[in-house]
């Protein structure tokens, strides 16, 4: 029976000119979203590979220089690549890269804000300069036209456009009396209409997203990422189901078509742009982050304090200078680094509590925002899509934590020779520790996604339950 | 006559529960946004002022050290928050808040607050401007969509016409009525918002308040023009639509396309048409350019040797110690000069590209009045890309002044010293640090801002004139019944 | 109730027992008792708002009674809303159809929903023809139909359903006299096949011509119930007007 209704609905839709405008535009937008996400992914891949290559080259160049020196090439003191402190501080560097996942094209997420490659040297990570990707702030604020945007913002709008009047139009057009004098319940009838639209709109969203992503990103097959695509389909079905459920619920209230349209648009407004924005500002206001300005000043203060405590001043060897400039430079540089490295570590310790407070607030803010997202299925979906692309805020936190750990390894590696008053060995120069990005455990990501999916199931279930329950008392001849 | 119709529309609207409910929600959102915005602005601004003062203290009391070491110690410049940011934070979350000014390099403003944002950051913050730009238009559409179609459907239009009410008078009366009803929502918003702002906001820097009342007037004017435009569009649609439902659908579609889609498409297109270098390409270009310099710190570098030779020849001496100026000072100065040229070229290219991208974006304002109004609102509030660029440029100008003073000092005071001695032996004190004035950035005056925004102003006027023309054209052709 | 009356009630396809309906406390239908046997054509007469449509809507389960029961083919419509609809066909005052579908497509859809998905195209055209719709019109979209043409499609839908019970709410308003006459013929042939028909109408003449029984309603009460063979045209009109003036 439901199949018959679906067939008839399809015939009806196929004779509406609006269908021939909205569906192709929708398909086009989906395709554009995929293309734009894929372009971005390739851009990030290119950049991360370039960064990695640059780091490789840096290490090799310094070893090559050493080999030339060992072979007898003349060099000045400052040019010696074996000096551990200059190597650690400014000559040497590693680019800690977070290569995009094969599924990265799903959502740009935080990846245009948070860097996917970070330069690691001795200096604390937050002092590293010009690490951001060059991007027009206006374009950043407006946001990317990626698949996630099409799915989170526009997909519900199409559902609303095609289903806000599923029942009210039959009432207003007068077809429903004849319909309901047939042996079928309103619920079944609505189910048929929703099913056809669901198959059409959700089917297109899932179909085009999946096929488009796989065609544009064949690497998804190779890597162990197909499960992410599967979950994408599930999330889309659930998110779409919620909006269809809402359409049923609104239609079950037996209002006029125009009122239905208004109510559904109001729901879209409240759930898609407003609730997340209000949640965002609430989280920020309840756990205000000390500004980065405060952190910068804390570090400056700590540097001053550490320097004053130790009475540090850079030595100037006037006597050695009489012998040779090179000798004086060497002596004062060795002395400088010997003192300054521990001093900097001490300064960081002093500034530590401010950073702890910052990170603590940030964590609480994120946790609150993470809970508040459950107020809006749009927020849940947006974040889940980010998660699938490995571009969520949490994904980047995880990456940054890894980089911080690696930064410690870098420091320890070079601290040793400095404190031992010696140069790096060739072996040490060849074997500078490298950074390898390890994505979060699949089980961790899956458990987060499962929660999102559960939330969406709940949202959809509530709207459907409410809608179909009310339809039981639907009165076709209401006065 | 118009007044009587306006009063009738107003009474009818105010008695409509839907409008009251929506109006109340909008009011509540606006007031909360303004309250939170005001508190956040005040905290932000206080912090920036304290930090600026502290930076000055640290700079002046950095003790005895070589001027170039002081150049490496550097200064942090903090972008002041402009007062109207409490209403329209614009792109403040996406522009760097501080810029490190040091020897050798032009750093870009860093630490975009959005980077530290929550997972919900990309949905944006609720702000007063967001309410006025996105929600009030919907309120206007809700208000107007049925004004004519509804009367036609109820048959009252036929009756009015039979009494002899002129079509255009009827429509202008309705427009006035819509204006009254809208004012009933917006005026309390603005008044209570102003009181909240006055209570919470404390601005200690009088410079920031220059032209504030004028800015308020202009920004109000922008929004009034915007609202009039949308009212005219909504009424025209109501006149021309076959049914109330069709009018509503048309207006909602207009909102979705112009407020949601066009800005993203414009921004995407501008990125494609005016390509930006990746941060790698940029870093490479900077490095390549600067490598042409004298490598002041690397005595064995060929450029360094060549520069040394040139200087020795120029002053006709044998040793750097015999030069009339400190060689280190000369080399550093030359290095900076090469740097200036490189930075102006590379970062200048980036900033010019931003401007081009934004201009293209603004042209899309012809398709969407939302773009024009957002551009102008941000510009007047001082939270647009132009302001952030202006801050960066003036911070860089300050940096150049700073390193010039420091290098001049080395040039003159470290005469006759070897490189090592002039680097580590010569030390300046507070009197030199005091020669460098404190960094004080003042946002550009309103006239300059408006001068840079002729295009969106022009586009907004086109929208106003166009929509009013459409309305008066449609008003003369009101149909009493559907054919 | 006498034995013969009980038998009759058990046989009747359309039956109302103490059926009451109130709108906002105002009675719209008051304790209606009605038994319509197979082959009977029962015409409900009465002014606008007398309760005719309310009665039909109650049999359709479009509205719920405040008390009492409505039975179709022996089943309580409230308890068996779906099953009872298999046994009945309904033609509203204004038949509204899917504008973008043709007459034949509308008929096929509604017949399928009614459970008759086995009809061939010839059969479907036959029903439309039977209802008086020309073949060339059957293939045009309903959007261009006149009210009368739509009404004919509604009749075809009812015929195709092959129902035991026919509920008609002023089905002939808007039909020209010829079509109206054809419709009456149709009703008579259906009743000859044992179909029970309940028809609300304003047309006294046709009620007398076609109906086997006539009920006059006023303010929600069935004030008179008589067999048409027992009364002449003029008497029926006089009786009706008398009730209206009381």
Q: What average pLDDT does this structure show over B350-356?
A: 94
B385 in A contact zone (CB under 8 Å) = yes
Each of the 246 residues of chain C gets a pLDDT tens digit; together they read 445 555 555 678 999 999 999 988 888 899 999 999 999 999 999 888 888 989 999 999 888 899 999 999 999 999 998 899 889 999 998 889 998 899 999 999 999 888 888 999 999 999 999 888 888 889 999 988 988 889 889 999 999 999 899 999 988 877 788 888 888 888 998 899 899 999 999 888 888 888 999 999 999 899 889 898 888 888 888 888 888 887
Q: What average pLDDT does this structure show over B376-390?
A: 94
Inform me whether the pLDDT recorded for B289 exceeds 50: yes
pLDDT at C9: 57
pLDDT at A249: 96
For chain B, give every domain's residue range.
2-475
Q: How many helices (H) and strands (E) does chain B have?
A: 20, 2
Residue C29 bridge partners (DSSP): C21
Q: How far is CA B371 from CA A255, A261, B216, B251, C57, in A?
A: 35, 26, 20, 17, 54
Tell the residue number behind the tokens 């008609």, with chain if given: C168
d(CA A88, CA A430): 14
pLDDT at C11: 75
Q: How far is CA C211 from CA B280, C37, C49, in A?
A: 92, 13, 22
Torsion of the alpha carbons at B396, B399, B400 and B401, rounded to the nearest 10: 120
Distance between start and end Cα atoms, chain C:
29
Burial of B71 (0-12, 13-18, 19+ CB in 10 A): buried
Q: What average pLDDT does this structure show over B412-421?
A: 83
Residue C16 lies in a domain: no
d(CA A190, CA A99): 47
Instruction: Outline where A164-272 has alpha helix (H).
Output: 168-173, 175-180, 186-216, 219-222, 226-252, 257-269
CB contact under 8 A, A12 and C97: no
Residue A22 lies in a domain: yes
Closest Cα partner for B87 from B154, B31, B43, B48?
B31
Q: Which residues of A touch C90 (CB under 8 A)?
A: 177-178, 181
Closest Cα partner for C86 from C105, C104, C103, C72?
C72
Q: Is A452 helix (H, G, I), strand (E, B) or coil?
A: helix
CB contact under 8 A, A4 and C117: yes
Give me the DSSP letters along B383-397. Answer: -SHHHHHHHHHHHHH
pLDDT at A71: 93
pLDDT at C94: 87
Residue A434 lies in a domain: yes
Q: What average pLDDT does this structure show over B64-74?
A: 90
Angle value at C-alpha C78, between C74 and C83, nearest 5 degrees: 60
**Residue C79 belongs to domain spanning:** 37-64+74-245
CB contact under 8 A, A79 and B350: no
Per-residue pLDDT band at A384 (split at 50, 70, 90) = very high
d(CA A400, CA B238): 54
d(CA A425, CA A431): 10
Q: Is C47 helix (H, G, I), strand (E, B) or coil?
A: coil
CB contact under 8 A, A137 and B385: yes
Q: Is A430 helix (H, G, I), strand (E, B) or coil?
A: helix
Residue C146 bridge partners (DSSP): none
Inform me whether the pLDDT recorded for B138 exceeds 60: yes
Nearest by CB: A174 against C96, C101, C109: C96
Tell the residue number behind the tokens 């139909």, with chain if given: C145
Closest Cα partner for A156 from A238, A239, A273, A233?
A239
pLDDT at C5: 55
Burial of C32 (0-12, 13-18, 19+ CB in 10 A): buried
Helices B212-240 & B167-200 angle (0-180, nearest 10): 150
Beta strands (DSSP E) in B90-145 are 98-101
Neighbors of chain C with 3 or more C-beta pairs under 8 Å: A
pLDDT at A308: 81
Residue C26 lies in a domain: no
Which residue of chain B has the CA closest to A315? B424
Encode B2-31: b = buried (16+ Cβ within 10 Å), e = exposed. Answer: beebbeebbeebeebeebeebbebbbebbb
Tell the residue number behind the tokens 């773009």, with chain if given: B371
pLDDT at B405: 95
Sheet with strand C14-23: strands edge to edge:
C26-36, C14-23, C67-72, C75-76
pTM of the predicted structure, to 2 decimals: 0.91
**Residue A97 belongs to domain spanning:** 2-278+377-471
pLDDT at A130: 62
Burial of B346 (0-12, 13-18, 19+ CB in 10 A): buried
Neighbors of chain A with 3 or more C-beta pairs under 8 Å: B, C
CB contact under 8 A, C113 and A184: yes
Per-residue pLDDT band at A27 (split at 50, 70, 90) = very high
Residue C24 lies in a domain: no
Mean pLDDT for all residues in chain B: 89
Closest Cα partner for B245 from A175, A261, C68, A75?
A261
pLDDT at C1: 43
Inform me whether the pLDDT recorded for B264 exceeds 80: yes
Residue C218 bridge partners (DSSP): C221
CB contact under 8 A, A177 and C115: no
Q: What CATH number corresponds to the domain at position C224?
A: 3.40.50.300
C88 in A contact zone (CB under 8 Å) = yes
d(CA C147, CA C95): 8
pLDDT at B117: 81
Q: How far is CA A47 from CA A54, A117, B283, in A?
A: 10, 8, 12
Nearest by CB: A291 against B44, B55, B138: B44
Tally of domains within chain C: 1
Tally of domains within chain A: 1
Residue B78 bridge partners (DSSP): B98
Q: What are the contacts of A181-184 at 24+ separation with CB within 8 A?
A: A181/C60, A181/C85, A181/C88, A181/C89, A181/C90, A181/C167, A182/C85, A182/C110, A182/C113, A182/C114, A183/C82, A183/C83, A183/C85, A183/C86, A183/C113, A183/C114, A183/C115, A184/A1, A184/C82, A184/C85, A184/C113
Distance between start and end Cα atoms, chain A:
29
C150 in A contact zone (CB under 8 Å) = no
Residue C221 bridge partners (DSSP): C218
A36 in B contact zone (CB under 8 Å) = yes
Rg (CA), chain C: 18
Which residue of chain A has the CA closest to C55? A477
Q: Which has more pLDDT, B226 or B422?
A: B226
CB contact under 8 A, B123 and A392: no
CB contact under 8 A, B119 and A274: no
d(CA C96, CA A37): 48
pLDDT at A479: 46
Q: How far is CA B167 from CA B200, B239, C55, C64, in A?
A: 49, 11, 47, 47
Instruction: Outline where C23-146 has alpha helix (H).
Output: 52-59, 81-87, 103-113, 121-131, 135-138
Which of A30-34, B76-80, B457-461 shows the lowest per-residue confidence on average (mean pLDDT)? B76-80
Residue A359 lies in a domain: no
C62 in A contact zone (CB under 8 Å) = yes
Q: Which residues contact A327 (CB under 8 A, 6 or more apart)?
A: A320
Angle value at C-alpha A409, between A406 and A412, nearest 5 degrees: 155
Angle value at C-alpha B476, between B470 and B482, nearest 5 degrees: 100
Measure CA B38 to chain center: 17
Rg (CA), chain B: 30
């Amino acid at each position: 029976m439901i199949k018959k209704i679906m067939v008839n609905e399809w015939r009806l839709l196929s004779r509406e000119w609006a269908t021939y405008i909205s569906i192709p535009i929708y398909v086009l937008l989906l395709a554009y979203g995929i293309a734009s996400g894929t372009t971005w992914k390739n851009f990030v891949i290119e950049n991360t590979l370039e960064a990695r290559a640059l780091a490789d080259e840096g290490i090799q160049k310094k070893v090559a220089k050493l080999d030339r020196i060992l072979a007898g090439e003349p060099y000045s003191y400052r040019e010696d690549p074996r000096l551990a402190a200059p190597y650690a501080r400014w000559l040497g560097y590693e680019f800690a890269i977070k290569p995009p996942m094969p599924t990265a094209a799903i959502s740009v997420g935080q990846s245009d804000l948070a860097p996917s490659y970070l330069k690691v040297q001795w200096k604390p990570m937050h002092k590293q300069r010009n690490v951001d990707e060059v991007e027009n702030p206006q374009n950043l604020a407006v946001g990317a036209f990626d698949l996630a945007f099409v799915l989170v913002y526009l997909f519900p709008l199409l559902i609303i456009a095609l289903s806000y009047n599923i029942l009210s139009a039959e009432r207003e057009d007068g077809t429903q009396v004849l319909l309901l004098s047939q042996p079928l319940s309103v619920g079944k009838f609505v189910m048929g209409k929703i099913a056809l639209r669901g198959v059409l709109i959700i089917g297109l969203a899932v179909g085009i997203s999946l096929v488009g992503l796989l065609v544009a990103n064949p690497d998804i097959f190779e890597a162990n990422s197909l499960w992410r695509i599967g979950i994408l389909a599930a999330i889309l079905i659930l998110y779409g189901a919620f909006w269809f459920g809402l359409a049923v619920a609104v239609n079950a209230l037996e209002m006029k078509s125009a009122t239905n349209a208004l109510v559904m648009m109001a729901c879209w407004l409240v759930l898609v742009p407003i609730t997340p924005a209000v949640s965002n500002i609430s989280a920020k206001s309840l756990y205000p982050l000390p500004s980065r300005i405060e952190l910068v000043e804390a570090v400056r203060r700590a540097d001053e304090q550490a320097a004053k405590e130790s009475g540090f001043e850079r030595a100037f060897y006037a006597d050695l200078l009489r012998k040779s400039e090179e000798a004086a430079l060497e002596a004062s540089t060795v002395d400088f680094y010997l003192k300054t490295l521990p001093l900097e570590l001490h300064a960081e310790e002093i500034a530590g509590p401010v950073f702890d407070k910052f990170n603590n607030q940030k964590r609480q803010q994120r946790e609150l925002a993470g809970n508040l997202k459950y107020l809006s299925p749009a927020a849940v979906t947006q974040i889940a899509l980010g998660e699938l692309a490995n571009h969520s805020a949490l994904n980047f936190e995880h990456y940054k934590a890894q980089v911080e750990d690696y930064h410690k390894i870098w420091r320890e590696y070079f601290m040793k020779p400095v404190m031992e008053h010696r140069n790096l060995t060739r072996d040490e120069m060849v074997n500078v520790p490298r950074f390898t990005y390890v994505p979060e455990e699949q089980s961790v990501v899956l458990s987060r996604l499962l929660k999102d999916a559960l939330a969406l199931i709940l949202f959809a279930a509530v709207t459907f339950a409410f809608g179909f329950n009310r339809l039981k008392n639907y009165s076709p001849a209401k006065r | 006559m118009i007044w009587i119709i306006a009063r009738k529309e107003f009474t009818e609207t105010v008695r409509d529960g839907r409008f009251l409910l929506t109006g109340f929600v909008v009011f509540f959102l606006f007031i909360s946004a303004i309250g939170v915005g005001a508190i956040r602005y005040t905290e932000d601004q206080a912090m920036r002022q304290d930090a600026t003062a502290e930076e000055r203290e640290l700079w002046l009391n950095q003790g005895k050290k070589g001027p170039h070491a002081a150049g490496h110690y550097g200064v942090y410049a903090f972008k002041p928050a402009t007062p109207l940011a409490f209403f329209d934070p614009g792109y403040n979350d996406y522009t760097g808040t501080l810029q490190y000014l040091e020897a050798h390099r032009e750093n870009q403003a860093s630490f975009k607050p959005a980077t530290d944002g929550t997972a919900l950051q990309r949905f944006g913050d609720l702000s007063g401007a967001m309410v006025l730009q996105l929600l009030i238009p919907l309120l206007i559409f809700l208000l107007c969509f049925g004004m004519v179609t509804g009367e036609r459907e109820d048959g009252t239009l036929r009756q009015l016409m039979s009494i002899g009410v002129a079509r255009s008078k009827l429509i202008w009366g309705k427009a006035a009525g819509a204006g009254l009803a809208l004012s009933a929502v917006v005026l309390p918003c603005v008044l209570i918002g102003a009181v909240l702002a006055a209570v919470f906001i404390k601005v200690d820097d009088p410079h920031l308040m220059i032209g504030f009342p004028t800015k308020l007037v202009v920004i109000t004017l922008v929004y009034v023009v915007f609202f009039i435009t949308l009212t005219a569009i909504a009424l025209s649609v109501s006149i021309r639509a076959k049914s109330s439902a069709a009018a509503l659908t048309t207006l909602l579609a207009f909102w979705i396309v112009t407020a949601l889609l066009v800005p993203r498409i414009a921004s995407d297109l501008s990125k494609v048409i005016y390509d930006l270098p990746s941060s790698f390409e940029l870093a490479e270009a900077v490095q390549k350019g600067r490598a042409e310099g004298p490598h002041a710190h690397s005595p064995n570098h060929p450029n360094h040797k060549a520069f040394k030779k040139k200087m020795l020849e120029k002053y006709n001496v044998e040793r750097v110690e015999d030069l009339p100026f400190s060689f280190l000072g000369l080399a550093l100065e030359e290095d900076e000069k090469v740097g200036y040229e490189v930075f102006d070229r590379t970062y200048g290219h980036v900033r010019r590209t931003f401007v081009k991208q934004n201009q293209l974006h603004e042209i899309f304002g012809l398709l969407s009045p939302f773009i024009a109004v957002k551009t102008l609102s941000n510009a007047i509030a001082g939270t647009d890309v132009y302001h952030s660029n202006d801050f960066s440029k003036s911070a860089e100008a300050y940096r150049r002044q700073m390193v010039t003073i420091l290098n001049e000092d080395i040039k003159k005071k470290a005469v006759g010293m070897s490189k090592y001695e002039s680097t580590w032996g010569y030390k300046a004190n507070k009197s030199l640090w005091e020669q460098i004035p404190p960094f004080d950035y003042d946002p550009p005056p309103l006239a300059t801002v408006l001068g840079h925004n002729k295009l969106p102003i022009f586009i907004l006027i086109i929208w106003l004139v166009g929509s009013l023309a459409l309305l008066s054209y449609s008003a003369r052709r009101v149909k009493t019944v559907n054919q | 109730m006498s034995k013969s009356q009980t038998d009759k009630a058990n046989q009747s396809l359309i039956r109302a027992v103490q059926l009451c309906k109130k709108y906002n406390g105002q009675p719209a239908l008051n304790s209606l008792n009605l038994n319509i046997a197979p082959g009977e054509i029962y015409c409900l007469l009465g002014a606008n708002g007398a309760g005719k449509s309310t009665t039909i809507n109650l049999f359709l389960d479009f509205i719920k009674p405040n008390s009492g029961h409505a039975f179709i083919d022996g089943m309580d419509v409230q308890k068996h809303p779906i099953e009872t609809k298999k046994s009945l066909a309904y033609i509203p005052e204004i038949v509204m159809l899917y504008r973008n579908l043709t007459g034949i497509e509308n008929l096929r859809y509604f017949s399928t929903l009614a459970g008759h998905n086995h009809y061939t195209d010839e059969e479907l055209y036959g029903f439309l023809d039977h209802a008086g719709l020309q073949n060339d019109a059957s293939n045009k979209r309903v959007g261009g139909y006149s009210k009368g043409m739509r009404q004919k499609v509604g009749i075809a839908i009812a015929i195709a359903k092959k129902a035991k019970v026919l509920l008609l709410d002023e089905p002939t308003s808007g039909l020209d006299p010829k079509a109206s006459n054809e419709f009456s013929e149709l009703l008579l042939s259906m009743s000859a096949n044992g179909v029970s028909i309940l028809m609300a109408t304003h047309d006294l003449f046709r009620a007398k011509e076609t109906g086997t029984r006539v009920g006059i309603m006023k303010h929600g009460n069935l004030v008179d119930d008589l067999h048409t063979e027992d009364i002449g045209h003029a008497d029926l009109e006089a009786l009706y007007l008398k009730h209206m003036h009381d």
